[in-house]
Each structure stands twice: as C-alpha cells, then as structure tokens.
C-alpha cells in the first residue's frame, strides 16, 4: 500500500512565496521514506512553475480542481488536458469547500474523476460529513451516499486508480481533528464500501485523512490500519510542518 502525504494550499501564497515553499519542501526530499508519495497542490497560476521546480524529484504537483469537459465555453475553468499539458500529476476533486461555495456535486465529481483518469492524472476524491450529520450519527450514511453518487458511472479500474480523502467538514481548518478511533472507524467503513463495490482492488486504494492534521496529531492517525496518509491544509503552508508530516508518515507506516 502506498502512503501519500498531500498538501492542499487552497487560495494561499503569491508567486514568490509559492516558489519558496516548493523549494523548501524539495530541500527535504533526500530524507523522504521511499514508501511515501509526496504531493502539493498550489493554486492554478503557480502550477507550471511548481512542475518545473519538481522535475527530477519525487514531488508530484496537483491541481485543486478541474473541469469535466475537454474544452469549451466555460469561462474561468481549467480542463484536464490543460493540466496534463503542463505536467500536473494529480488533482483534488470534491473538496468540501468546492461543494459548499461552488455547488460541486458528486455527480459532477464522478465526471471529473473520469476525465482526470483519461488524462492519466491521479484523482484525489474528497468526502466527509458536516457537524450536524456527525452529531446525528449519520456520517456513515452520508459518506456512503457521496461515494455512491460519485462512483456510479465509473468502472472498477477507474475506482481502483482513485485516491480517497475522508475529510470531516467540522475538522477542516478548525483545529478540531477527528480522533484516531473516529477516523479509523469511518476509514474501515469506506474500505468496506470499496471492497463491496470493486472487490479486492478496494483494499489497495489509499485512504487519506484530512482535517486539522498536524505533526502533533498525525502519528496517532497515520498509524491506524486504514489510514494511508493525509490531505493537509494549514500545515502544508509551512515547509517545516509539512516535512515533519512526511517524516511521521514514513516512520509510522513502515
């Protein structure tokens, strides 16, 4: 099983800051465990430069979103062919902020996943419940429904090539993280859903945890059997913290 530590920069950094952060992350690459894949997702304007800087290293550069169509009159959108043409290797889809502020639906996310895979770009599919749903004990049902809708039109090999990030919305950017037990419980549930859908291939799909994951709580999370890494927001904006997370992933997962 691959382990993945992915940084989602969201709408942060200017060009110089982005270049500095990429350089600082790459500077630690000699110490990365061979079993950990490291991904960063800068904002669109900095992707091409990030890819150039990452060339010849193990760092994979990801986008934070894409459009499902190959091209067309979609002002402000970016196609997978555009991402592929500059060497982007992965793309986050279905992040809760995209769902909440930009109306992204699971059906659209499913089409984005298909488009990404056709361009050989690794999709990182985000799912997770909001606080009310967690408090009502509906988190399993919510995540199962999200996955059903997103994966409905995808075949077994497409789902097998998708990375899943479970991100409880109440933990994103709040400093309130899921406990390792809470995260493992729902990751095991997601694993079960995957195996039910695609058989044994579902055991090989990396399941990332996201939501206020920091160096001081990552050891407990990454150490659990169905947690195969993290999707990191705030702590990915700081090279020292991000590098610490990569180190922890390498230590606890070997």
Contact footprint for ligand PGA (CB under 6 A): 8, 167, 172-173, 210-213, 231-235
The half-sphere exposure of 127 on its side-chain side, counting CA atoms within 13 A, is: 28
Question: Which is closer to ligand PGA, CB of 28 or CB of 215?
Answer: 215
Distance in Å, CB of 174 to ligand PGA, minimum: 7
Distance in Å, CB of 64 to ligand PGA, minimum: 9
Annotated active-site residue 167? The verdict is: yes
The Cα–Cα gap between 35 and 229 comes to 11
Question: Which is closer to ligand PGA, CB of 37 or CB of 167?
Answer: 167
Tell me if 38 sits within 8 A of 60, measured CB to CB: yes
Residue nearest to ligand PGA (CB): 233
Tell me if 110 sits within 8 A of 68, measured CB to CB: no
Question: Which is closer to ligand PGA, CB of 198 or CB of 218?
Answer: 218
- In Å, what is the CA distance from 36 to each residue of 1, 104, 126, 177? 10, 30, 20, 22
Annotated active-site residue 71? The verdict is: no
Distance in Å, CB of 217 to ligand PGA, minimum: 11
Q: Catalytic: which of 97, 104, 133, 167?
A: 167
Q: Catalytic: which of 67, 95, 139, 187?
A: 95
Distance in Å, CB of 125 to ligand PGA, minimum: 12
Distance in Å, CB of 241 to ligand PGA, minimum: 10
Question: Which is closer to ligand PGA, CB of 198 or CB of 239?
Answer: 239
Question: Which is closer to ligand PGA, CB of 205 or CB of 232?
Answer: 232
Catalytic residue positions, numbered: 95, 167
């Amino acid at each position: 099983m691959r382990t993945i530590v992915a940084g989602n920069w969201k709408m942060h950094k200017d060009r110089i800051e982005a270049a500095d952060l990429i350089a600082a992350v790459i500077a630690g690459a000699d110490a990365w465990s061979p079993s950990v894949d490291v991904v960063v997702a800068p904002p669109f304007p900095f992707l091409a430069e990030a890819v150039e800087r990452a060339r010849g290293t193990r760092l994979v550069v990801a986008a934070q979103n894409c459009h499902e169509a190959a091209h067309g009159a979609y002002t402000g959108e970016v196609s997978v062919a555009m991402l592929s043409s500059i060497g982007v290797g992965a793309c986050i889809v279905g992040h809760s902020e995209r769902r909440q502020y930009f109306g992204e639906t699971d059906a659209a996310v499913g089409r984005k996943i298909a488009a990404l895979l056709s361009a050989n770009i690794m999709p990182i599919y985000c799912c997770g419940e909001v606080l009310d749903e967690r408090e009502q004990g509906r988190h399993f049902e919510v995540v199962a429904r999200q996955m059903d809708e997103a994966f409905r039109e995808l075949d077994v090999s497409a789902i097998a090539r998708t990375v899943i990030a479970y991100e409880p919305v109440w933990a994103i950017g709040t400093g309130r993280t899921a406990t390792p037990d809470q995260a493992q419980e729902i990751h095991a549930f997601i694993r079960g859903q995957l195996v039910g859908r695609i058989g044994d291939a579902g055991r090989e799909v990396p399941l990332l945890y996201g939501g206020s994951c920091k160096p001081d709580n990552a050891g407990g999370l990454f150490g659990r059997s169905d947690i195969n890494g993290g999707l990191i927001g705030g702590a990915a904006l700081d090279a020292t913290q991000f590098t610490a997370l990569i180190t922890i992933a390498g230590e606890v997962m070997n």
